[in-house]
Structure 1
């Protein structure tokens, strides 16, 4: 098992390989390093002494021999010596898909995300490397290449890994992939797939003795991840208890249609600049990053469509959460009216700012045209809810509508809207949950709801929202534009608000 040097020179007379007997081996640059080790006997009981190599140096040969000897007593590891990472990933994915079909494995959305990670990054970047030879350096090189995707550096040559990744990203399933940089959150999701596969390779398949992905991506310690929190509806009983104790019943709470309508009326009457964003989110539930990342070229008011093609994460544009996130949202008449008014307002702001206007090309932006930060949207939402509560508190102290309006520098119409009913707190993201719930309760087809929200499957949509939708169903008699009651507006029951084809 001691490393030895050999070459491919041949005897000039017999034409046989000289191997270890070549007289030139004493020269530094001549020959390569090899080693043999004692492997488990074959199924027939015969002895096996495989050779590993070649290596450029004796030290590399010893390191390689050490890795092999760590699994030499395991027949499975020896048999899988030539298995590549790509082959193992495909084999493992087949197992996981089979488990999912029995109802005992992963959800379809998780498998879709894992398939993307394998096809776009792991297989093209590392798939050709033998599983037993994969090291942390290979993994770090992959992540470094991912960070360079669509970030041109002048004078810097592309690595082989980066070249392979870019070739694969050109098109997928006949569609061109986005040409934006890869976010750290996306790299983290790819790492989770790779780490899980290498853990299985070590603990289940026994091909390796270690996991080279350990420590490559350091994460913060903390509480164990909990299961998905399902939403609860703010019923009259829960609102009454919250007013007494101040305790919110669950992490994810959903407004009733009346409560949602009261908020939108209040936001609109207050002259809230970003009211159109809240309106769109309450009706169709795009994710916050998708709202902020939506570009003007993706919104067609003439065709009544919003194309969701990207999202903003960590102040950078990125792909949507999964491929199911690439979708079209059909818009109803009321939403089109709101967005037309918003477009007019943006044009007026552009004229006021003049040359200082910086057009980011986004649907929703700051007054100077620059791209919104996602947290700003949430901040404005929280401010409106707090102002709503403060107005009601002043009314309880017998303040007049006029005095309250002067105090909070708002319109009397917004004060009157706030006095309609109590508005319990929710998070901005809960507008998305509310949209899903009200669409289902309004009788909209489950598949249509799933597509509008960008969910990977109808089953997921029904699993998360079915119960709370049943609670809300008694109040839902209209679809889409009519399912949120609005002050001073009447919509005919049964109006054709769902675009044709859905």
Structure 2
């Protein structure tokens, strides 16, 4: 019976013993003309039986019996499928794995596993009987990622906790499908609507339910998918748990970077009208009490990324001249340092005689916790040139810091950082941002993020005619293409000057057009006219 066989059976019982008659029921056949017996199409169902490989200890395994087929062809087709699965490999160990997969899949789905899928797994030596779920694998994946920085780890943890575990966690890893992942992103978008509706409602209870939840934008969705794709690639390459990565083909909306816009006079006027409207509404709602800085920061801007004009930047630095972090803001505004790089600048990496500063350290923020470490990429670890005025300002800053050290006495912490608090301790990155917003507000300037000064620095350098390659190296980018596409904006006055220069070429050409003919043309005729 190694090749198996099909037969017909029914559920009739013997009248005396009460036992099922099965395939011995006389009603399964009927006598046709000439005395020949034929299967009775109105009684019983078709079934098949197939011998299975023995257990590892040699014990005989019960045959595979399947019934309930309406026709012989249907039973024979599944029997052929089962035989083909058992013929995929001759190795007894692999045959036992195939058999266990067949039995477990039949139990769960009442169908045999797809032949081609099992063939691929056998060929690539994958585990044929994985029981790990997506949730279990994501925990194992995170446990293995020992060499990632704290910020990346926190991002992975958030994606697992907020999305993968709730939406995909109970699905077996080898049964994760594209539709499952697409459904997760559909659910995220639906919850975005819940958050937006709750915040717009007047129901305090509804707003409280989403107080600590933020809507998930396209860029974040791409990062969520990237985390899942990476985790599934590890499952493919290292453990051979799966042979296909469904996260790699899930389609998402384009995650375009927001376009940086310059604060033109028109944009400032429009934004200022909205600011005043919100301030007035806040005064009415809170009986005259208003958090002006809070309204200033939260009033919507034309783009998430806004860039000050050179005049705006100059006004800000003038306002910051007496502030103890004046030198920090100047380095960001003119040299394009990231916030963490500026806060993490160390005196041992600054050479005021040579006019250089080495960006070899940074202090980033993980939730509220400041994290010290080296720049994330090789390109970010760099040395930048300092202009003469910046050197003068840094010398003055060092003198001020020396006076603070003298005043602090034994309480002074000799951290070695250029920018510290009054006791010499490393500066918290958020403190730099908070003071920046305060200075910008006091200067009467339209709001930008501290990081937007970096965008402005790139635009200032290009407007001054600095080569794009030098701008790229100053900002610490791997490629000049990224610098050009992401961190540059055209100031209106630069664009106007370029337009005037281009028009001047035409004007000059027009003045000399009558004095010389470059090409001798034949006289115009009616034929050429038509």
TM-score, with structure 1 as normaliser: 0.53
With over 3 angstroms needed to count, the CA separation of the structure-2 counterparts of 1:280 and 1:38, relative to structure 1, is: farther
Matches within 5 A, 1:88-487: 136-144=135-143, 146=145, 184-185=153-154, 187=156, 208-210=174-176, 222-225=215-218, 227-246=256-275, 248-268=301-321, 271-303=322-354, 304-314=356-366, 315-389=370-444, 423-469=445-491, 472=494
Look up the SS of the partner of 2:56 in the other structure.
strand
With over 3 angstroms needed to count, the CA separation of the structure-2 counterparts of 1:260 and 1:72, relative to structure 1, is: same
With over 3 angstroms needed to count, the CA separation of the structure-2 counterparts of 1:475 and 1:453, relative to structure 1, is: farther
Shift of 1:283: 0.5
With over 3 angstroms needed to count, the CA separation of the structure-2 counterparts of 1:259 and 1:59, relative to structure 1, is: same
Shift of 1:360: 2.8
Shift of 1:280: 0.5
CA distance in 1, matches of 2:80, 2:349: 61
Contact 1:231 1:468 in 2 (8 A): no
> 2:116: which partner in 1?
75
Look up the SS of the partner of 1:359 in the other structure.
coil
Question: Where do 5+ consecutive residues of structure 2 fail to align?
Answer: 1-50, 61-77, 189-212, 219-254, 276-299, 499-530
CA distance in 2, matches of 1:345, 1:71: 78
Look up the SS of the partner of 1:468 in the other structure.
coil
CA distance in 2, matches of 1:360, 1:67: 62
Matches within 5 A, 1:8-19: 19=58
Shift of 1:383: 1.1
CA distance in 2, matches of 1:39, 1:347: 87
Look up the SS of the partner of 1:208 in the other structure.
helix
More helix by proportion, 1 or 2? 2
Look up the SS of the partner of 1:306 in the other structure.
strand
Shift of 1:49: 5.8
Contact 2:456 2:488 in 1 (8 A): no
Matched, 1:48 2:98: no
Contact 1:324 1:454 in 2 (8 A): yes
CA distance in 2, matches of 1:39, 1:283: 74
Shift of 1:331: 1.9
Look up the SS of the partner of 2:175 in the other structure.
coil
CA distance in 2, matches of 1:373, 1:475: 42
With over 3 angstroms needed to count, the CA separation of the structure-2 counterparts of 1:309 and 1:353, relative to structure 1, is: closer
Contact 1:267 1:275 in 2 (8 A): yes
Shift of 1:222: 2.4
Contact 1:39 1:49 in 2 (8 A): no
CA distance in 1, matches of 2:151, 2:100: 37
With over 3 angstroms needed to count, the CA separation of the structure-2 counterparts of 1:73 and 1:472, relative to structure 1, is: same
CA RMSD of aligned residues (A): 4.9
Shift of 1:277: 0.7
> 1:92: which partner in 2?
none
> 1:13: which partner in 2?
none
Shift of 1:78: 3.0
Contact 2:361 2:374 in 1 (8 A): yes
CA distance in 1, matches of 2:112, 2:347: 58
Contact 2:351 2:357 in 1 (8 A): yes
Question: Where do 5+ consecutive residues of structure 1 fail to align?
Answer: 8-18, 22-36, 86-128, 150-164, 170-179, 390-422, 477-502
Indicate the structure (1 or 2) with the bigger Cα radius of gyration.
Answer: 2
Shift of 1:472: 3.8
With over 3 angstroms needed to count, the CA separation of the structure-2 counterparts of 1:60 and 1:443, relative to structure 1, is: same
CA distance in 1, matches of 2:80, 2:317: 72
With over 3 angstroms needed to count, the CA separation of the structure-2 counterparts of 1:221 and 1:337, relative to structure 1, is: closer
Look up the SS of the partner of 2:443 in the other structure.
helix
> 2:56: which partner in 1?
6
With over 3 angstroms needed to count, the CA separation of the structure-2 counterparts of 1:48 and 1:241, relative to structure 1, is: closer
Contact 1:71 1:209 in 2 (8 A): no
Contact 2:347 2:417 in 1 (8 A): yes
> 1:497: which partner in 2?
none
CA distance in 1, matches of 2:395, 2:365: 27
Contact 1:233 1:255 in 2 (8 A): yes
Contact 1:439 1:449 in 2 (8 A): yes
Contact 2:88 2:119 in 1 (8 A): no
CA distance in 2, matches of 1:131, 1:335: 65
Look up the SS of the partner of 1:328 in the other structure.
strand
Contact 1:72 1:78 in 2 (8 A): no
Contact 2:456 2:489 in 1 (8 A): no
Flag the structure with more relative contact order, 1 or 2, with Cα contacts below 8 A and sequence separation at least 6: 1
Shift of 1:354: 1.2
TM-score, with structure 2 as normaliser: 0.50
Contact 2:130 2:174 in 1 (8 A): yes
